[in-house]
Amino acid sequence: MKKSVFCFLLSLVTVACMGQQKITGMWKNIDDEDGKEKSHIQIFEKNGKLHAKVVKLLANATVRVCEKCSGANKNKPIEGMEILWDLKKVSDKEYEDGKILNPKNGKEYDCFISLVEPNKLKVRGYMGVSMFGKTQYWYRVN
């Protein structure tokens, strides 16, 4: 009987932990055009909001310097650059009202993200209205 209760409690804890996947952590970015993995991106919390920076550019990355960026990011290396900032928490799996930088074209977009699976993150960049934008999926680096 004790063994059955222990196994039951252990299974509850396991299920609860699986449901508590966090958005923070390391993610890989897949290029929309060629389907190749381009970078590893660290998502972290700062001052109660989510931010992300490129921590590693992979061999397939074709753009390594943000030539088309303006301001402080102009001609800076993309590796180490913060590309997502000020996302506000909606739920454990959704953040919105932030900004994202596309280093290829140097433009900033409004952004929201949502955890659609434990290891799959939907990242949507848009201008003004979310229907006018682009969605990428990032995958957790294990």
pLDDT per position as a tens digit, 78-120: 999 999 999 999 999 999 999 999 999 999 999 999 999 999 9
C-alpha angle 50/121/83, rounded to 5°? Answer: 45
Question: Which is nearest to 62 in space by CA: 101, 121, 103, 108?
Answer: 103
Q: Residues near 55 by Cβ (< 8 Å), separated by ≥ 6?
A: 26, 40, 41, 42, 79, 80
Computed over every residue of the chain, the mean pLDDT equals 88
Residue-level pLDDT at 40: 98
- Report yes or no: 57 and 65 within 8 Å, Cβ to Cβ: no
Residue 45 exposure: Cα atoms within 13 Å on the Cβ side: 9
- The rounded distance, in Å, linking the Cα atoms of 131 and 112 is 12
State which fold the 22-140 domain adopts. Answer: Lipocalin (2.40.128)
Strand partners, 86: none
Residue-level pLDDT at 3: 53
- C-alpha 35, offset from chain centre: 17
pLDDT(122) > 90: yes
Token pair listed for 1: 């009987």
Residue-level pLDDT at 131: 86
Question: Which is nearest to 96 in space by CA: 80, 109, 82, 78?
Answer: 109
Residue-level pLDDT at 80: 97
